[in-house]
A and B are shown apart, each in its own frame.
Chain A
Amino acid sequence: MSDAPNGNGRSTTPRRTETVLYLDGVSVSFDGFKALNELSLVIDRGELRTVIGPNGAGKTTMMDVITGKTRPDEGTVIYGVDTDLTKLDEAEIANLGIGRKFQKPTVFENLTVFENLELAARDSRGIFRTLLAKLSGNDLARIDETLVTTGLAEHRHRRAGALSHGQKQWLEIGMLLIHDPQILLLDEPVAGMTDHETEQTAQLIRRLMGKHTLVVVEHDMQFVRDLGARVTVLHEGSVLAEGSIDHVQNHPRVIEVYLGR
């Protein structure tokens, strides 16, 4: 991979790890309001990154741009070596291996946990193939593995509608994991969870580190601290600070933005 200097400060650090996602000067405006303002961000392969910021900082818009839901007015989003995500639609981006979990859990309530994962598994999408589909040993192994990872193994035959809020969220993460995504984008994964569930979610996310690249948008500072990952602070559509949680919490500009102006 060529190491062209690109003026955002990163060219000075040697590239030990491979970049998997690179947002370069991305701007999005809605009716004159700049949701993203020349946002540049680099995510390395296998990294866990948490993104925080006050309301309206552009966190969700950033996710929308990455997943193709929103097209930026300016800038590029490079995935892997040279795939420009701004040229692709949502389905194509999903098929490249970028999974996104939305805030509200949407699992199929009338199917069991196992069946939810079965439907999410990659194979046999055609009508007649689903009619004759038999689960291969490979699929079963994948489903079992996902059940263990998400801690839902003992609930495999429960109706998804009977799960707790937290368990539904984990099931939905599982439905993304079964595709073995390169990048997993999690939008406020612990919103509405109990303290215990939040803790377990943090454990789940740490288990996924290294195997997948994870980008977590979150409000809950304790949770962000628990994850212990590199933190990016967004403010008014661009990066305000980046570094460890202690670094950003002591950053004067961050304190100013968070504690009022």
Chain B
Amino acid sequence: MTDITTDAAPRRSLMTPRGWTVFFAFGFALVVLLPVLNRVVASGSFAHVPDYLIPLIGKYCTYAMLALAMDLIWGYAGILSLGQGAFFALGGYCMGMYLMRQIGDRGVYKNAQLPDFMVFLAWEKLPWYWEGFDMFGFAALMVMIVPGLLALIIGWLTFRSRVTGVYLSIITQAMTYALWLAFFRNNMGFGGNNGLTDFKDILGFPVQTQSTRVGLLIASAVGLGVTYLVCRWIVNSKLGRVLLAVRDAESRVRFLGYSVTGAKLFVFVVAAMLSGIAGALYVPQVGIINPSEFSPAVSIEIALWVAVGGRGTLAGAVIGAFLVNMAKTWLTNAAPEVWLFFLGALFVVVTLLFPRGVIGLVADQRERWRARNAAREAEAAEVAT
């Protein structure tokens, strides 16, 4: 009989030592290195990071947070939600409302009580749902509560009725589409087509200055790190195993006595809240939030980031979000008409040829090296004898 001492310990820790090393190296680069290279190193130096890169990388960080949320529900629980863009946008709008209220009487119409677009629409007073958004704490809370609550309602209705697979994707896509149409309407009170923009300051710091932008990058990088750890903690817990089991054999999990609805609802709500936070960090860095963020295509793109990086790995989601968005930044500048074709081709290629994404490719390659080395060693041993 083989030794069966309990060696379940290694998997129980949050990350391997190597994982922590990569985590902190990545964090150091974003939180310390980039700001120093931008703020301290002289602009003539080759090591200087140009100003425009700071909010750009900050934006990638918020996308990576969004991708992590997507991986949590899609990669682990097998729920292909096409509504993550909507949760992201809702978090963004909550932050946008706070930023609008901070403008005060510095708007075009110099109205201390009403944002410009409401004055333009000849509204007399602030709608009730704008109350409280002048306080950062309240807005920050709403950034999580609004997407979380919507996810709770949609999730409860669908998971309880055992709606799965493509039907769930369609329902979440329809939700996104409905919000898209709704936010276009002027009388919704969210600036209609133009959305919310012309922000002045956040927590008293002017949004446009480079030091604030560096601060926002650091906040986004920290947000990304915390999101990663939260997701890692969830997937490493027993609940993480329940989620994987739900993905593979849902009815069997039910038969074992677990609440499949409860498990799905939990990750769906957590993912929506994380998406909301990502959206809130995104808005001050790009300086605008408008209904285009609700566009159904955006939510599909998020799924693609995760697929490119490798589903069900978390790290893959971050890698995918950075890679695809870097390609997008470059291509939409170099050859804007090519971008959508590239996106479509990427979808096809990843689905057909690299179903496990970048992470899967790396793992396969490493496996091949290991096998080759083992074969070589065996050969050497044979020669030696």
Name the one of B6, B247, B248, B263 contacting A140, with C-beta atoms under 8 angstroms: B6
Distance (Å) between the CB of A107 and the closest chain B CB? 8
Residue of A nearest to B258 (CB): A125
Q: Does B338 contact A (CB under 8 A)?
A: no
**Residue of A119, A125, A126 with most chain B CB atoms under a 10 A cut-off:** A119
A119 adjacent to B256 (CB under 8 Å): yes
A108 adjacent to B4 (CB under 8 Å): no
A131 adjacent to B257 (CB under 8 Å): no
- Among B24-32, B232-240, B271-279, B358-366, the stretch that binds chain A is B232-240
Q: How many Å lie between the Cα of A157 and that of B5 in the bound state? A: 12
Complex interface bits, A140-167 against B, C-beta within 8 A gives 1, otherwise 0: 1000100110000110110000000000
Name the one of B4, B238, B266 contacting A153, with C-beta atoms under 8 angstroms: B4
A106 adjacent to B237 (CB under 8 Å): no
Q: Does A127 contact B (CB under 8 A)?
A: yes
B interface, over-half SS: helix
Query: Which residues from B are CB-within-8-Å of A119?
Result: 238, 241-242, 245, 253, 256, 258
Q: Does B244 contact A (CB under 8 A)?
A: yes
Query: Which residues from A are CB-within-8-Å of B257?
Result: 91, 94-95, 125
Complex interface bits, A99-120 against B, C-beta within 8 A gives 1, otherwise 0: 0000000101111001100111
B245 adjacent to A127 (CB under 8 Å): no
A127 adjacent to B244 (CB under 8 Å): no
- Contact A154/B2 with A108-B244, A108-B249 known, Cβ cut-off 8 Å: yes
B238 adjacent to A133 (CB under 8 Å): yes
**Residue of B8, B238, B262 with most chain A CB atoms under a 10 A cut-off:** B238
Q: How many Å lie between the Cα of A110 and that of B252 in the bound state? A: 14
A110 adjacent to B244 (CB under 8 Å): yes
Query: Which residues from B are CB-within-8-Å of A11?
Result: none
Q: How many Å lie between the Cα of A157 and that of B2 in the bound state? A: 13
Q: How many Å lie between the Cα of A124 and that of B265 in the bound state? A: 17
**Residue of B6, B249, B265 with most chain A CB atoms under a 10 A cut-off:** B6
Q: Does B334 contact A (CB under 8 A)?
A: no
Q: Does B259 contact A (CB under 8 A)?
A: yes
Name the one of B1, B8, B249, B263 contacting A106, with C-beta atoms under 8 angstroms: B249
Within 8 A of A (CB), among B214-251: 234, 237-239, 241-242, 244-245, 247-249
B244 adjacent to A148 (CB under 8 Å): no
B245 adjacent to A156 (CB under 8 Å): no
Q: How many Å lie between the Cα of A120 and that of B358 in the bound state? A: 33
| A contact residues, total (Cβ < 8 Å) | 31
Q: How many Å lie between the Cα of A126 and that of B234 in the bound state? A: 14
Complex interface bits, A200-225 against B, C-beta within 8 A gives 1, otherwise 0: 00000000000000000000000000
Query: Which residues from A are CB-within-8-Å of B247?
Result: 110
Name the one of A126, A132, A175 contacting B237, with C-beta atoms under 8 angstroms: A132
Name the one of B7, B237, B252 contacting A108, with C-beta atoms under 8 angstroms: B252
Complex interface bits, A2-27 against B, C-beta within 8 A gives 1, otherwise 0: 00000000000000000000000000
A147 adjacent to B4 (CB under 8 Å): yes
- Contact A118/B234 with A109-B248, A153-B1, A156-B4 known, Cβ cut-off 8 Å: no
Query: Which residues from B are CB-within-8-Å of A127?
Result: 239, 259, 262-263, 265-266
B245 adjacent to A111 (CB under 8 Å): yes
A153 adjacent to B258 (CB under 8 Å): no
B238 adjacent to A108 (CB under 8 Å): no
Q: Does A130 contact B (CB under 8 A)?
A: yes
B256 adjacent to A120 (CB under 8 Å): yes
Query: Which residues from B are CB-within-8-Å of A81?
Result: none
Distance (Å) between the CB of B278 and the closest chain A CB? 22
Name the one of B4, B7, B252 contacting A148, with C-beta atoms under 8 angstroms: B4
- Contact A118/B238 with A110-B248, A140-B6, A140-B8 known, Cβ cut-off 8 Å: yes
Residue of A nearest to B243 (CB): A130
Residue of B nearest to A122 (CB): B257
Residue of A nearest to B312 (CB): A110
- Contact A130/B238 with A110-B244, A119-B245, A125-B258 known, Cβ cut-off 8 Å: yes
A111 adjacent to B244 (CB under 8 Å): yes
Q: How many Å lie between the Cα of A176 and that of B241 in the bound state? A: 18
Query: Which residues from B are CB-within-8-Å of A140?
Result: 6, 8
- Contact A148/B237 with A114-B8, A125-B257 known, Cβ cut-off 8 Å: no
- Contact A130/B239 with A108-B244, A108-B248, A108-B252 known, Cβ cut-off 8 Å: yes
Query: Which residues from B are CB-within-8-Å of A148?
Result: 1, 4
Residue of B nearest to A157 (CB): B7
Q: How many Å lie between the Cα of A111 and that of B6 in the bound state? A: 17
- Contact A124/B244 with A108-B252, A140-B6 known, Cβ cut-off 8 Å: no
B242 adjacent to A130 (CB under 8 Å): yes
Q: How many Å lie between the Cα of A83 and that of B239 in the bound state? A: 34
A131 adjacent to B244 (CB under 8 Å): no
**Residue of A115, A124, A144, A154 with most chain B CB atoms under a 10 A cut-off:** A115
Q: How many Å lie between the Cα of A108 and that of B256 in the bound state? A: 12
Query: Which residues from A are CB-within-8-Å of B234?
Result: 131
3 smallest beta-carbon distances between A and B, as pairs:
A130-B239, A133-B238, A154-B2
* A-B contacts besides A109-B248, A111-B248, A133-B239, 15 pairs, CB < 8 Å: A91-B257, A108-B244, A110-B244, A114-B8, A119-B245, A119-B256, A124-B238, A125-B257, A125-B258, A127-B265, A130-B239, A135-B8, A140-B8, A153-B2, A175-B256
State the A residues within 8 Å of B (CB): 91, 94-95, 106, 108-111, 114-115, 118-120, 124-127, 130-133, 135, 140, 144, 147-148, 153-154, 156-157, 175
State the B residues within 8 Å of A (CB): 1-2, 4, 6-8, 234, 237-239, 241-242, 244-245, 247-249, 252-253, 255-259, 262-263, 265-266
A-B contact pairs, 18 of them (CB 8 A): A94-B257, A108-B245, A110-B247, A111-B245, A111-B248, A114-B8, A115-B241, A119-B258, A125-B257, A125-B258, A127-B259, A127-B262, A127-B266, A130-B242, A131-B238, A133-B239, A135-B8, A144-B6
